[in-house]
Amino acid sequence: MITGTHRPSKVLVDETAILHNIQHAKAQLKDDTQLFAVIKADAYGHGLLRVARVTQAAGATGFCVAILDEALALREADYTIPILVLGIISPETAALAATQTISVPVGSKAWLEAALPVLQANPDQPRLRIHFALDTGMGRIGFREVADLIDAVDYVKAHSQWFEIEGIFTHFATADEVDTTYFNSQVDKFHQYLAALPERPKYVHVSNSATSLWHAACNGNMIRFGVALYGLNPSGRAIPETPYQLEPALQVVSELVFSKIIHAGDAVSYGATYHAKRDEWIGTVPMGYADGWLRRLQGFHVLVDGQFCEIVGRVCMDQFMIRLPKDYAPGTPVVLVGTSGDEKITLQDVADYSDTIHYEIACSLAERLPRESINPIK
C-alpha cells in the first residue's frame, strides 16, 4: 500500500513512552529474568523497526514476533539478539529459521518429523532452536498431553544434531481478568508439564503483559512483554490498577481540509443517515476506514481546538465529517487519539465505542498512514 506522505493524517509514536514502559517493567523483574519485546504485527501498529530499536536500547534482551517474515525483517536490519516466532511455521522453512538463528515453537512430534528432512538437506547450518508450546487452556497451539510432550523430547534428543531445545512456554487465556479461577488451572497444568521434563531448557516462560503485571510470581525466567510496552492496559478497564504507570505511545492526528455551513434538514455522507437539526458548521477530515478509522465510528468524536466534535454521517473510505462549534480554517489540527487542550481521547475510548479492544484499533491503522516519531531516543 502507498503511504500517504502528502496529506496531514498520520500516526505519531512517542519513543520516550516506550522506553519508560520497558524500563518500568524491567525494574519489577528478578535479576535473572529476561524481557523479550513483542513487536509482532508491525509492533502493534507502531512500526516494527522503530520499536525494535527503542526496546533494545531500553534493555530488551530478545524479540517475539508472530510470523517468520517479521523475524527475517529484523535479521535483515542487523538485529542479532534472540528472536522467537510465536506462531507455528511451515516445516519447509525450518532450515531458513535455523540459518538465521530464529527460534520457533513446536506443538507436535509430527512437526519435528516433517522438519527433520528439511534440516538434513542443509547439513552446514546451525541446529534449529525450538520452544515447546503447551496448550494448557488457550486452545490455540501446543501439546495437550504430557506423554506427547515427553515423546517429542525423546525425538529431539535422538536427533540432537538438528534440534536444540531452547525453551518451553504456554499462553494464558484470562490473565487480564479479575476472576483467576481459569488462570490458576492453567498454571497448575503448566507445572505438571514442567515436573515431567527430565531437565528444564534455557527459557521457561508463560508471562504476557497481563501476567507480568498482575501475576509476577509466574514469570519464569523470561517475559513476553507486549501490549503494555506501548502503554496500553492489557485488561482494558477491567483491572485499572497497574504496578507502575503505563505511558501510551501512540497518537493519531490529522487536519481539516474543508469546512462549510449546512442548513436544517441537510444530509451528510452515504445513506443520508445524518440530517442537520439547524445551521451547522461541518468539517472534513482526510482519513477513513481504508486507514483503519472504522466505519462504525459514526457518532464518536475527535478533538478540535480542545473541543469534542462529533463524527456525523458515515465514515467514508478516505474521509469523514465532523460537526464544528464554529468555522475553522483548513489546516486546523484534528486529534483522533491524543490530547488537545484539556481534553483527551485514548485508544481505549475508541475501542469502547467500537465494541472491541484497543489492540484491534492499533493494529487496524493502515500502512497508508505515515508513522512519525516524537521524543526520539538514540
317 is in an annotated binding site: yes
- Reply yes or no on whether 203 is catalytic: no
Catalytic residue, chosen from 40, 203, 230, 353, is 40
Identify the three-state secondary structure at position 81: coil
Q: Consult the annotation and say whether 321 binds a ligand.
A: no
Question: Which of 368, 268, 279 is CA-nearest to residue 320?
Answer: 268
Q: Is 40 noted as a catalytic residue in this protein? A: yes
> Annotated catalytic residue: which of 157, 260, 270, 344?
270
Question: Please, is 102 exposed, middle or buried when counting C-beta atoms within 10 Å of its C-beta (0-12, 13-18, 19+)?
Answer: buried
- In the sheet where 83-85 sits, what is the strand order? 83-85, 62-65, 34-38, 222-225, 203-207, 163-170, 128-134, 104-106
State the Cα angle at 152 between 151 and 158, rounded to 5°: 95
Long-range contact pairs involving 41-44 (C-beta distance under 8 Å, separation at least 24): 41/66, 41/363, 42/363, 42/367, 43/230, 44/226, 44/227, 44/230, 44/359, 44/362, 44/363
Burial class (CB in 10 A: 0-12, 13-18, 19+), 310: middle
| C-alpha cell, 164 | 536444540
State the DSSP code for 103: B
Numbered residues of the known binding site for substrate:
140, 317
Numbered residues of the known binding site:
140, 317
Report, as residue numbers or ranges, the catalytic residues. 40, 270
